[in-house]
Amino acid sequence: MFSKDAIKLYVMGISLLALTAFVFFRENTTDWRDYQAEFRDLVTEKFGSERAEQVPSGIQQIWVKDLDRVDRCVTCHQAIEWKGLETAPNPYRTHPKEILEKHPLTAYGCTSCHGGQGFSTTLPDAHGNVEHWEEPVLGQEVSEAYLIKNSKALMEMNCNSCHRYDRETKGMDYINTAKNLVEQKDCRACHTINGRGGIIGPDLTYEGDKPTEQFDYGRLTGRHAVFAWQVAHFQNPKMVSPDSIMPNFGLSSQDAQALALLVMSWKKEPIPASYISGVQLRDVPTPEEIAKEKEMLEGDGAFFVQNKCFVCHSVSSLGVNSAAKIGPDLSDAVVDVQNRFGRTLDDFLMDPTGTMSVVLATQIPLTTEQRQQAIALLKVAYQRKLEQQIKNTSPSPTPAGK
Amino acid sequence: MATEEISETKASSSLLATLREKFALRAMWEQLTWTWKPETKREAGDAIVRNFVLHWFPAKVSLESLSWGYSFWLGTISAVLFLILTITGGILMFLYVPSVERAYLSVKDLEFSTSYGWFLRGLHRISAHLMVAVVFLHMVRVFLTGAFKNGRKAVGQNRPLNWIVGVALLLITLLLSFTGYLLPWDQLAYWAITVGTNIASSAPVFGDPTRFILLGGTTIEQATLIRFYVLHCFLLPLTTFALVSYHMWRVRKDGGLACTEKRYEEAKKQEQPAIASKTYSLLGITGGSAVDVQNVMIDDENEKVPSSPYLTVRLAVVTLATTIVSIILTLLVRAPLEEAANPAVTPNPAKAPWYFLWLQELVTITTFTVGGITINGALIGGIILPGVLVAAAVLWPYFDKSPVSSIGKWLPTERKWQNRVFLIIVAAILILTFIGTYMRGPFWEIYMPWQEWEQAPRRF
């Protein structure tokens, strides 16, 4: 009995060892390793072995914290930012440069525009045409399935996540067409979109979030997909939902596809405001503040407003009022400078000391001519101030007094 | 040439010999590996009792206890699976983040970027499913062999109690698996727990409070996740460990496996009745004979073998075999990970974990409409029926009046009817589980295994 068991034990032990070796083998023979090796060969061939040694190995990823995305696409697509591989076969092709200049990889990753499953390190999972992943790479494969000639058109849906409030965006022809159609056909007559519009039809602001299960595919031939449903619905609303009162606009299939992409892009995605095109992240002056500044710009003290002197100084006799009033009123600078620094205004402004030396050296670089202009204007301001003082103190001509 | 070689080996062997002598290599090695070396068989036996690991086992075990065909070693396999789960689970705890925002992403990382993450997760998942199955089979084995029955009147024997501990362990195993089911935080997890906890809430009076306590609120959210996580990684494993230890200890206290009872029965038949004559117990104050005199004494030395190596080798074989099967299944079956949990989208169909699908089927069967009023089966199918089954299981040993001779035998004629009833219940559970797992499609309609389900809609 024992010797039989001992044999079993040896057999089991060896089997477990073999299995462990197999697990090790499987872990270390992933496709991405092959792609990386092939890329290194390509680089060696084109640029020499020295460059090839610089190619990073192991799983690569772009982590975009702001968009909560981890994109491991660059594990295989290693040439994205390389120069000179513009015509290489994928996955070793350089990404078109222009679009990356405005949308750097570190800030956008890959999947926020292209779709696909960024976590993945295997091809079918990464390209996302798999079960349980709803955002496939919007490229050739899906385009061909829908007979769309321009394989980049579908991607515009993702672009519109950030560009949804643009009227027109460069390079987004489908979405631009669709946005035009929304205005032309006046979809807002019936539908609310982004908080504006009618209530006859459903609110479309977040139409892109509607779950796939909530569409009736019963009258749809072909693929049971939201995109297919939307296209069919735009071309003939009553065909897919007989109870619909939406008119048939006689749209071409391309227009219907464009509109389908537009409505599917309307999602409630957690995108930081800084990513959304057209959203201003700054304090805008109120209309009153703008009017006041405009008025000051037209007065005699325009020089002090234009050159931002008024940020700290008022020149009240010339109608310039500083909001902050950090520095003294410059109306009597002619005497004030003399009192404070023991120098004439001309002398001081040409070679200032203290705070003014810092301000004029860094923030308000005035040329010699401009300084002379300032001195002349300040002298006028003082003159003006004296005149105003005389006017105020001289007895008013009151008939009763005489 | 040849002579040179010989002289060289001679030189090296003599060098080794001098090294041995000089540094007392053997003594050093023995000092490092043995603190003490047995001189006699008696001392060797003592050594086993004194060894921390080996003292779990008796010094000697009977051959029938060791047989493959009696117990199928199902209890041992369960314990090995629990060990695998503890090890893989311990590592997974370093990699998984129990937060609603990160849980799903951390499981995706395990699948795609953590070294051996796919393997750890797959092995943990497969072992968990296997453990549910094996613990259930262990229970079936114990029932069919009547191993929950007390046999010879031995001091402290209480097999029914150990059976109840076993039932508790089965329930805890289910709970362990159920709590682990939620952790990936995908659609599968979210909706399985929704179905499961909704069944729990249909219990009268205690239903809703139970669900509230389980979920830490009224919806499955962060509070639920952390509750399930702590239960899964800390409380339930600890309880399992304690109960398994007690379970094992009781097996020893109950006189070993039930199959050894037969031998006592046979010996009893051959034994001459004890002579009720003079005994030297208690200085003759009491009548009768001493305890030992009534006990059947059997000289089983011939039929027993030392635990080490006979038991330990088989244990090693079972441990390795279980590990191998788990690993092979891990390599063959990919652990699913669906879309991230979305409370707004109910998958169609939404299913409980597979081991609760017979309950979900019972709920379906017991839900019917009479004259426009729908009776919800959740109470009958989800609470009362399983409740009755668990209660029956707990109480069964106390109502089983079959003779002692039926203990420790597969399907004995004396327990024919009991086993038939039990097997019918087991078959019903298995059939319902099969229907729920493989034959329920969208809208909970019956689909034959060869029928294709309706195409699941996609975005593109």
What is the per-residue pLDDT across B35-78, written as a single tens digit (0 to 9) for each?
667 787 787 777 777 777 777 788 788 888 899 999 999 999 99
Q: Mean pLDDT throughout B105-123?
A: 95
Q: What is the pLDDT of residue B119?
A: 96
Query: Nearest by CB to B309, which of A2, A15, A125?
Result: A2
Q: Which residues of A touch B119 (CB under 8 A)?
A: 23, 27
- Do residues B245 and B352 share a domain? yes
What is the per-residue pLDDT across A46-56, written as a single tens digit (0 to 9) for each?
999 999 999 99
Would an 8 Å CB–CB cutoff place B453 in contact with chain A?
Answer: no
Query: Nearest by CB to B313, which of A2, A131, A264?
Result: A2
Q: Mean pLDDT throughout A250-254?
A: 92
- Do residues B21 and B124 share a domain? no
Would an 8 Å CB–CB cutoff place B283 in contact with chain A?
Answer: no
Query: Nearest by CB to A15, which of B116, B324, B458?
Result: B324
- Min Cα separation B92/chain A (Å): 17
Mean pLDDT of chain B: 86
Q: CB A134 to CB B458 under 8 A?
A: yes
> Alpha-carbon distance A299 to B306, whole Å?
112
Residue B353 domain-assigned (yes or no): yes
Task: Domains for chain A: give ranges and CATH numbers.
Answer: 32-137 (no CATH), 139-282 (1.10.760), 287-390 (no CATH)
- Do residues B36 and B66 share a domain? no
- Do residues B198 and B340 share a domain? yes
- Do residues B195 and B341 share a domain? yes
pLDDT at B352 over 80: yes
Query: Nearest by CB to B320, which of A1, A13, A122?
Result: A13
Q: Report the Cα B384 to chain-centroid distance in Å.
A: 25
pLDDT at B98 over 70: yes
- A126 neighbors A116 (Cβ within 8 angstroms): yes
More confident residue, A258 or B22: A258
Residue B364 domain-assigned (yes or no): yes
Would an 8 Å CB–CB cutoff place B314 in contact with chain A?
Answer: yes
Q: How confident is the model at residue B2 (pLDDT cuts 50, 70, 90)?
A: very low
pLDDT at A395 over 50: yes
What is the per-residue pLDDT across B281-317, written as a single tens digit (0 to 9) for each?
555 555 444 444 445 555 556 678 888 788 889 999 9
Residue B455 domain-assigned (yes or no): no
Residue B52 domain-assigned (yes or no): no
Q: What is the pLDDT of residue B292?
A: 46
Residue B284 domain-assigned (yes or no): no
Q: What is the pLDDT of residue A397?
A: 54
- B202 neighbors B383 (Cβ within 8 angstroms): yes
- A303 neighbors A377 (Cβ within 8 angstroms): yes
- Do residues B73 and B30 share a domain? no
Q: CB A132 to CB B339 under 8 A?
A: yes
Q: What is the pLDDT of residue B291?
A: 45
Percentage of chain B beyond pLDDT 70 is 88
Percentage of chain A beyond pLDDT 90 is 56
Q: What is the pLDDT of residue B280?
A: 53
Q: Which residues of A touch B313 (CB under 8 A)?
A: 2, 5-6, 9
- Min Cα separation A112/chain B (Å): 16
Would an 8 Å CB–CB cutoff place B455 in contact with chain A?
Answer: yes
Degrees to nearest 5, angle at CA B399 with B394 and B401: 135
- Do residues B184 and B227 share a domain? yes
Helix/strand/coil for A320: strand
Q: What is the pLDDT of residue A213?
A: 85
Which chain B residues in 337-356 lie under 8 Å from chain A, judged by CB atoms? 337-339, 342, 344-348
- Do residues B241 and B330 share a domain? yes
- B456 neighbors B442 (Cβ within 8 angstroms): no
- A27: number of CA atoms within 13 Å, CB side? 16
- Do residues B437 and B334 share a domain? yes
How does DSSP classify residue A401? G
Residue B28 domain-assigned (yes or no): yes
- A266 neighbors A206 (Cβ within 8 angstroms): yes
Q: Mean pLDDT throughout B306-333?
A: 93
Q: CB A132 to CB B336 under 8 A?
A: yes
Would an 8 Å CB–CB cutoff place B68 in contact with chain A?
Answer: no
Q: CB B459 to CB A212 under 8 A?
A: yes
More confident residue, B388 or A301: B388
Would an 8 Å CB–CB cutoff place B303 in contact with chain A?
Answer: no
Residue with tokens 């593109």: B460
- Min Cα separation A6/chain B (Å): 7
- Min Cα separation B61/chain A (Å): 13
Q: CB A225 to CB B458 under 8 A?
A: yes
For β-strands A69-71 and A192-193, DSSP reports them as unpaired
- Min Cα separation B357/chain A (Å): 22
Q: What is the pLDDT of residue B293?
A: 45
- Do residues B362 and B233 share a domain? yes
Percentage of chain B beyond pLDDT 90 is 50
Q: CB A119 to CB B324 under 8 A?
A: no
Q: CB B317 to CB A12 under 8 A?
A: yes
* Number of CB atoms found within 10 A of residue A395's CB: 6
Q: CB A226 to CB B460 under 8 A?
A: yes
- The ipTM of this complex is 0.81
CATH value at residue B106: 1.20.810.10
Q: CB B336 to CB A23 under 8 A?
A: no
Would an 8 Å CB–CB cutoff place B310 in contact with chain A?
Answer: yes
Query: Nearest by CB to B459, which of A27, A132, A134?
Result: A134
User: In terms of Cα–Cα distance, which of A182, A227, A176 is closest to A201?
Assistant: A182
Residue B381 domain-assigned (yes or no): yes
| Least confident among A75-89, A154-168, B144-158, B172-186 | B144-158
What is the per-residue pLDDT across A308-348, written as a single tens digit (0 to 9) for each?
898 899 998 888 888 888 889 999 888 999 888 888 998 99
Q: Which residues of B touch A264 (CB under 8 A)?
A: 459
What is the per-residue pLDDT across A9-44, written as a single tens digit (0 to 9) for each?
999 999 999 999 999 999 999 999 999 999 999 999
Residue-range definition of the domain harbouring residue B16: 2-41
Number of domains in chain B: 2
Number of A:B CB contacts under 8 A? 107
Residue with tokens 């079918």: A124
What is the per-residue pLDDT across B11-36, written as a single tens digit (0 to 9) for each?
566 777 787 777 787 778 777 776 66
Q: What is the pLDDT of residue B35?
A: 66
Would an 8 Å CB–CB cutoff place B149 in contact with chain A?
Answer: no
Q: How far are the Cα atoms of A36, B103, B118 from residue A59, in angstroms, in the given order? A: 10, 21, 15
| Least confident among A360-369, B111-120, B236-245 | A360-369
Q: Report the Cα B386 to chain-centroid distance in Å.
A: 20
Q: How confident is the model at residue B378 (pLDDT cuts 50, 70, 90)?
A: confident
Three-state secondary structure along chain B?
Answer: CHHHHHHHHHHHHHHHHHHHHHHCHHHHHHHHHCCCCCCCHHHHHHHHHHCCCHHHCCCEEEHHHHCHHHHCCHHHHHHHHHHHHHHHHHHHHHHCCCCCCCHHHHHHHHHHCCCCHHHHHHHHHHHHHHHHHHHHHHHHHHHHCCCCCCCCCCCCCCHHHHHHHHHHHHHHHHHHHHHHHHCCCEHHHHHHHHHHHHHHHCCCCCHHHHHHHHHCCCCCCHHHHHHHHHHHHHHHHHHHHHHHHHHHHHHHHCCCCHHHHHHHHHHHHHCCCCCCCCCCHHHHCCCCCCHHHHCCCCCCHHHEEEHHHHHHHHHHHHHHHHHHHHHHHHHHCCCCCCCECCCCCCCCCCCCCHHHHHHHHHHHHHCEEECCEEECCHHHHHHHHHHHHHHHHHHHHHHCCCCHHHCCCCCCHHHHHHHHHHHHHHHHHHHHHHHHHHHECHHHCECCCCCCCCCCCECC
Q: How confident is the model at residue B369 (pLDDT cuts 50, 70, 90)?
A: confident
- Do residues B8 and B102 share a domain? no
- Do residues B353 and B417 share a domain? yes
Query: Nearest by CB to A9, which of B119, B317, B456?
Result: B317
Q: How far are the Cα atoms of A291, A298, A310, A312, B53 from residue A287, in angstroms, in the given order? A: 6, 17, 19, 21, 85
Q: Which residue of B has its CA nearest to A145?
A: B460
Residue B291 domain-assigned (yes or no): no
